[in-house]
Amino acid sequence: MRQKTMPQQISLFESGNNWNLGKTPLGGGLKGRVIGKIQLAHKFEDIISLENLFSAWPEFLAGKKKKKDVQEFDRHLADNILALHKDLSNRTYKHGGYQSFYINDPKRRHIHKASVRDRLLHHAVYRILYPFFDRTFISDSFSCRNNKGTHEAINRFRAVSYKVSENNTKTCWVLKCDIKKFFASIDHNILLDIIKEYIPNEDILWLLKNVIESFVTLPLIPSHQGRGVPIGLPLGNLTSQLFANVYMNVFDQWVKHKLKAKHYIRYADDFVFLSPDRQWLLDIIPKVREFLSEKLRLTLHPDKIFLKTIFSGVDFLGWVNFVNYRTLRQTTKRRMLTRIKNNPTFETLQSYLGLLGHGNTHKVRDELLIEYWLWQN
């Protein structure tokens, strides 16, 4: 039986090997290491090429065909893409501003949406850079990655808890942490310094800097030089998802290779450590806090640090996880029932039934169906 080969995971802390993995036609291009780090082989022209820009359009268009601004851009698609390509080629491109609005999902979030022209560029950048950077991420990072996600993360959590507890014969302790105002706190200068270690092309760096510096969280954090330090990534940008993982990958690699954590799972700004040793988990809290603060200028949320056993139930990614089962978080349940009441469509029902299939939710499923039939008629 042929054995599956897993995607190569590359450590920032490896050194002494000369990797020569060649260049791929689209995304993930690699070339030799500098001080142990792989570097992007793609050129600026690969990102801004007409072929890449036109290929990015249908990917951007998914789910947006009825949007007025998208329809207007699509009406003169060729001219608009040619104009964008010309500005990029001449280095006269300047990222535009953002439309600001709020959503509740479930907590109130401030979204910033760029123009269609800029969002198309985000997709063109993403389709080249994501395959490359994804190879540098650890396998237990689950946010905004292909073949990953929340369900894979909680399934991995369950598998690791079984391993740590030796099939529920020993106590498994879980340290859960959260980063305060994560996206709004990402330091532009630190992010660009991280990216420079992987991307030697000055034109690509110019473009990424243009995108990153198109948005800042106000007020600016004062620096030791008296100038404001630009921070923050907009939640509405596709590139923000990638940049956030690139930023936190520094922490992930430190956790694995310096802190020597055997069992660690991260989804965006939520992460957990699992261990049979309660004291070890207590001891790493100040180390984690210090690394995040000094290296990434991030802050552990003081009210969201929890140390519990798996037997008592651990709230992680919308589910309360126990030894042999998981239940839906009460706030998630209330939000779901409210939404089906306000929007009792078959599509909404099927979406929630799919979600409920990942846990022990027979009673919640019955409540959902009752609400659906009650408010549909």
Average model confidence (pLDDT) across the chain: 84
Distance between CA 74 and CA 288 in Å, rounded?
A: 47
CB 151, CB 267: distance < 8 Å: no
Taking 90 as the threshold, does the pLDDT of residue 150 lie above it?
no
Report the pLDDT value the prediction gives residue 220, as an integer from 0 to 100. 60
Q: How far is CA 130 from CA 88, 133, 164, 239, 265, in A?
A: 20, 5, 32, 9, 20
- 102-106: average pLDDT: 72
Q: With 0-12 CB in 10 A as exposed, 13-18 as middle and 19+ as buried, what is 374?
A: exposed
> In the chain, what is the greatest distance between 2 CA atoms, to the nearest angstrom?
68
Q: Record the tokens describing residue 267, joined without a space.
A: 């989804």
Distance between CA 27 and CA 22 in Å, rounded?
A: 12
Taking 70 as the threshold, does the pLDDT of residue 193 lie above it?
yes
> Any idea what DSSP says for residue 312?
G
Which range among 35-44, 70-79, 256-265, 272-281 shows the weakest confidence by mean pLDDT?
35-44
Taking 90 as the threshold, does the pLDDT of residue 35 lie above it?
no
pLDDT digits (tens, 9 = 90+) for 172-186: 999 999 999 999 999
Taking 90 as the threshold, does the pLDDT of residue 151 lie above it?
no
Strand 221-222 with 37-40, pairing: unpaired
DSSP one-letter string for 114-169 = E-HHHHHHHHHHHHHHHHHHHTTS-TTB-TT-TT-SHHHHHHHHHHHHHHHTTTTT
> Any idea what DSSP says for residue 27?
S
Distance between CA 332 and CA 217 in Å, rounded?
A: 29
Distance between CA 204 and CA 207 in Å, rounded?
A: 5
Q: What whole-number percentage of the chain has pLDDT above 90? A: 62
Which pLDDT band holds residue 13 (cuts at 50, 70, 90)?
very low
CB 285, CB 175: distance < 8 Å: yes
Report the pLDDT value the prediction gives residue 362, as an integer from 0 to 100. 59
pLDDT digits (tens, 9 = 90+) for 318-377: 778 787 777 766 666 666 667 767 777 777 667 666 665 666 565 656 555 565 565 665
Report the pLDDT value the prediction gives residue 5, as an integer from 0 to 100. 36
Q: Record the tokens describing residue 244, joined without a space.
A: 């956030």
Distance between CA 27 and CA 286 in Å, rounded?
A: 38
Report the pLDDT value the prediction gives residue 311, as an integer from 0 to 100. 86
- 123-150: average pLDDT: 96
Report the pLDDT value the prediction gives residue 273, as an integer from 0 to 100. 98
pLDDT digits (tens, 9 = 90+) for 280-312: 999 999 999 999 999 999 999 999 999 999 988
Report the pLDDT value the prediction gives residue 74, as an integer from 0 to 100. 97
- 241-252: average pLDDT: 98
Report the pLDDT value the prediction gives residue 345, as an integer from 0 to 100. 76
Task: List beta partners, residue 267.
Answer: 270
> Any idea what DSSP says for residue 5?
P
Q: What b-and-e string marks burial along 29-64, b requiring 16 or more CB atoms within 10 Å of the CB?
A: bbbebeeebbbbbbebebbbbeebbbebbeebbeee
Q: Record the tokens describing residue 337, joined without a space.
A: 């029932």
